[in-house]
Amino acid sequence: MKHEVSPVRYWNIQECTIPVGKVTIIANFCKGGEDCDDCIRFCPEKVLERGTVPNERGFFPPILVDDGKCTVCGRCQLYCSENAIFVEKTGERVVTPDEIAHREENS
């Protein structure tokens, strides 16, 4: 659901850069499924989703939905008990004030 952004509330937001990262999933280490799914639940950008293809031990590792959205917060890396996921910073991108305002409204 998208609301209309009121320009009065976000008048002082300026353009900024945020990091862009690459998520790597080591499928054979993962113990995902109904019990875990920490990386999916704690990801603020909702980059990951429960997979449908089981790995060699019968668990369902997550799949990457939208790689470009990752902001290298490192939460999945810290929360994963099995060290089956990690992120690397690949670059930076510019965020416009409009986008920030949209995020604030929709969060």
Partner 1 sequence: MEIDQHPYADILRKEMMPNIWCPGCRIGRIKNTFIETIQQLGYDPDKCTVVSGIGCSSRIAGYLNLDTIHATHGRAIPTALGVKLANPELKVSVMGGDGDILGIGGNHFLALGRHGQDLNVFCMNNFGYSMTGFQHGPTTPFGARTITTSSGNPYAPVNPVAVAMAAGYTFVARSTSAHPYHLIDCMVSAMKNRGPSFIEILVPCMLYERRNKIKSLEALFLDKAKIKETLSAEDIDQSDFMKRISLGIFRDDPVRQRPQLSLVKSTKKVAAGKFDIKYKSRASGIKYMQIRMEGTGGQGIVQGGKVMIKAAMNMDPKLNSTLTKRYGPEMKGGSCLTDVLLSSQHVDYPFVDVPDLLLMMSGLVAKERGGKVIINDKGTIVVDESMVDLSLLENLPKTVKVFKIPATQIARENFRVVVANNVLMGFVCKTTSIIDKNCFKAAIVKSAPPGTEELNLSAFESGYKYKKS
b/e string for 4-39 if b means 16 or more Cβ within 10 A? ebeeeeeeeeeeeeeebbebebebebbbbeeebebb
Q: Does the protein bind partner 1 through residue 36 (CB under 8 A)? A: yes
Q: How many helices (H) and strands (E) does the chain have?
A: 3, 4
Q: Does the protein bind partner 1 through residue 26 (CB under 8 A)? A: yes
Q: Does the protein bind partner 1 through residue 59 (CB under 8 A)? A: yes
- Whole-angstrom distance, CA of residue 35 vs CA of residue 88: 26
From the list 2-10, 61-69, 74-82, 90-98, the region that binds partner 1 by CB under 8 A is 74-82
Q: Beta partners for 91?
A: 20
Smallest gap from residue 78 Cβ to partner 1 (A): 5
Residue with tokens 């690949």: 90
The residue from 3, 35, 52, 94 that contacts partner 1 (CB under 8 A) is: 35
Q: Does the protein bind partner 1 through residue 63 (CB under 8 A)? A: no
Provide the binding-site residues for partner 1, judged by CB under 8 A: 24, 26, 28-29, 31-33, 35-36, 59, 77-84, 86, 88
